[in-house]
Amino acid sequence: MQKKLHIKKGDLVYVNAGEDKGKKGRVLEVITKTSRAIVEGINIITRHTKPNAKHPQGGRIEREAPIHISNLAVVDPKSGQATRIGRRKNQEGKLVRYAKKSGEEIK
């Protein structure tokens, strides 16, 4: 069974804890099994790789590592600040996410 998380792929998020605290980035992938997300430009790690088809030169490759969902907050589309997420039904009766700070719907 998958967990219902407040963060989805494509969301703009604010990092509120850890080495990259205060930075913002776009979610590239959400791993529901471990409650983690991969965020663009956040939690960069260096991997030493042997030459292969993808990287013929090999060497040190920097990439994003997963960060725990609890260390992320969705950015309010109106104010640009971190906000909590709520769920409510819109005019069509569809359940949508909204920013609790401004009441703005999150796409």
Note whether 83 and 74 are within 8 A (CB).
yes
Q: Quote the CA–CA distance of 76 and 28 in Å, as a whole number.
A: 18
0.85 exceeded by the pTM?
no
Splitting the chain (107 residues) into consecutive groups of 10 residues, what average pLDDT does each group show? 84 95 96 95 95 92 95 93 94 93 89
DSSP characters over 34-103: TTEEEETTSSEEEEEE---SS-SS-EEEEEE--EEGGGEEEEPTTT-SEE-EEEEE-TTS-EEEEETTT-
pLDDT value for 62: 94
pLDDT value for 1: 65
